Amino acid sequence: VISVSEALQLLSSSFSPVEVEEIALNQAAGRVLSTDVESDVNLPLFTNSSMDGFAVKAEDIAGAQEDQPVILSVIEDIPAGSSPSKRIGEREAARIMTGAHLPEGANAVIPIEDTDQYKPRSRSESLRLPSEIEVYRSVSVGDYIRLEGEDVKSGEVVITSNSRLRPQDLGFLAMLGISEFSVFRRPRIAILSTGDELIPVGEPLQPGKIHDSNAYTLSALISRDGGIPEYLGIVPDQERAVRESLELAVEKDADLIFSSAGVSVGAFDFVRSVIESDGELEFWRVNMRPGKPVAFGNFQGVPFIGLPGNPVSAFVGYEIFGRPSVLRLGGIRNPTRKSIQVEVVQDIRSDGRESYLRGIVHSKNGEYFGRLTGHQGSGNLLSLVQANALLIIPSGVKSLPSGSKVDAWLLEPT
């Protein structure tokens, strides 16, 4: 029996990223970059106005006030998307829209609100370019101007490799004009459910049978972490069937195989023995609760994680060992999990193993408080359905009085 941290240590050195592929920007949400992205443009691309107003020379309107307006002649209209054709001379201005290219000679923008043009008027009236404007206040050089390159300089690394692309990253890549780039391909993750008692959901139950639920939980977890789940079905408790199913996973080029159940010490638990005979077994028991029987090794060279059969244990085992493995395969370098400090509001008993208990956490005045979601049997999946967190009771702890602080993982939709 090894500790959770020893097991994680072993796993962390066993997974490296899969190959890369080219992807189009519109397909890239949630994918993991395999190279640094360097900008080959300045951002902003050109110096432009940050307001609707008039491009001016700041010195021309230095003394302008509401009751002492400065009059400027308007020489040009610069709508967004156009390019100025004239240079601003003394006492001249050009009407300019937000985002439009600042003309030569101008060094500031006076917002339309600070001129006589800011009056509720008809659309046709406001479309007409005035020949003169009255300006009611001064501005400083640089006001309401976004300078070329002030956000990003050409040549700068703007997004680093091995990061998962978020919505704002995608918009930013579009800003840079990058429509195709390399990402890690999504790892292929095989799932097999072992057990003579299992019946596919949708088919009628018979005496002593239950529906295979782990496959659904695991598929969704794998998708969440960027993998492609490949469910290989229910495998009977027979050595040959287990071997054939693992061989199928190898044929399908799985990057990692998950099984649930059959790694314990029961008379019909064949998974472990097949891994031992056709691969290598690194460990098969971890000092934790729920889910002590967790196996890790490889089958014909393909990494294998054997999760416990009990539905809560399978989930917890995946979160602890599966998640970082799938993330590493997908190109995430050091997968970490944010934990929060929670004050428990009830006495909690544990058995000295590192325990991951189902809880409900709420926050009050910036602090987190947690309680358990009823009975913690590892077959009671409702305790996990009602939970929004796993409360982590460290190893060696057997009782925890109300008011103690523990670490917790939030189980939020991601």
Pairing of strands 399-400, 389-393: unpaired
CB of 211 to Mg ion, least distance (A): 14
**Which partner, Mg ion, ligand AMP, none, binds residue 230 by CB below 5 to 8 Å per kind?**
none
Provide the mask over 310-349, with x wherever binding to Mg ion is found by CB under 5 A and - wherever it is not. Answer: ----------------------------------------
Chain residues that interact with ligand AMP, rule: CB under 6 A = 193, 195, 197-198, 210, 212-215, 260-262, 264, 266, 308-311, 379
CB of 308 to Mg ion, least distance (A): 10
Which C-beta is closer to ligand AMP: that of 236 or that of 394? 236
**Which partner, ligand AMP, Mg ion, none, binds residue 198 by CB below 5 to 8 Å per kind?**
ligand AMP
CB of 196 to ligand AMP, least distance (A): 9
Which C-beta is closer to Mg ion: that of 269 or that of 354? 269
Angle of the 239-251 helix axis to the 271-278 helix axis, nearest 10: 60
CA distance 351 to 357: 12
Give the chain's length: 414
Which C-beta is closer to ligand AMP: that of 195 or that of 331? 195
Which C-beta is closer to ligand AMP: that of 44 or that of 311? 311
**Which partner, ligand AMP, Mg ion, none, binds residue 49 by CB below 5 to 8 Å per kind?**
none
Provide the mask over 185-204, with x wherever binding to Mg ion is found by CB under 5 A and - wherever it is not. Answer: ----------x---------
The token pair at 45 is: 């691309």
- Single-letter residue type at 118: Y
Please list, in sequence order, all residues whose beta carbon lies within 8 angstroms of the beta carbon of residue 67, skipping any fewer than 6 positions away.
none
CB of 273 to ligand AMP, least distance (A): 14
CA distance 313 to 294: 9
Nearest to residue 148, comparing CAs of 42, 50, 38?
42
CA distance 232 to 241: 12
Please list, in sequence order, all residues whose beta carbon lies within 8 angstroms of the beta carbon of residue 250, skipping any fewer than 6 positions away.
299, 300, 301, 302
Which C-beta is closer to ligand AMP: that of 261 or that of 316? 261
**Coil, helix or strand at residue 253:** coil
Give the single-character DSSP code of 137.
Answer: S
Which C-beta is closer to ligand AMP: that of 172 or that of 356? 356
- Long-range contact set of residues 63-67: C-beta below 8 Å, sequence gap at least 24: 63/138, 64/135, 64/136, 64/137, 64/138, 65/136, 65/137, 66/136, 66/137
In degrees and rounded to multiples of 5, residue 302 shows phi and psi of -90, 130
CB of 310 to Mg ion, least distance (A): 10
Which C-beta is closer to ligand AMP: that of 178 or that of 198? 198
Which C-beta is closer to ligand AMP: that of 141 or that of 201? 201
CA distance 341 to 309: 30
CA distance 352 to 354: 7
Go through 239-252 and write b for each residue having 16 or more CB atoms within 10 A of its CB, e for each that does not: eebbbebbebbbee
CB of 242 to ligand AMP, least distance (A): 12
The reply on whether position 305 binds Mg ion by CB under 5 A is: no
**Count of residues engaged in binding Mg ion, rule: CB under 5 A:** 2
Binding residue for Mg ion, selected from 261, 316, 361, 387, defined by CB under 5 A? 261
Provide the mask over 140-179, with x wherever binding to Mg ion is found by CB under 5 A and - wherever it is not. Answer: ----------------------------------------
- Stretch binding Mg ion (CB under 5 A), from 35-43, 101-109, 255-263, 366-374: 255-263
CA distance 354 to 371: 17
Residue 45 and residue 152 in contact, taking contact as beta carbons nearer than 8 Å: no
Which C-beta is closer to ligand AMP: that of 213 or that of 404? 213
CB of 373 to ligand AMP, least distance (A): 19
**Which partner, ligand AMP, Mg ion, none, binds residue 226 by CB below 5 to 8 Å per kind?**
none
Nearest to residue 322, comparing CAs of 213, 217, 200?
217
CB of 237 to Mg ion, least distance (A): 6
In the bound complex, which residue of the shown chain has the CB atom lying closest to ligand AMP? 309
Residues that bind Mg ion (CB under 5 A): 195, 261
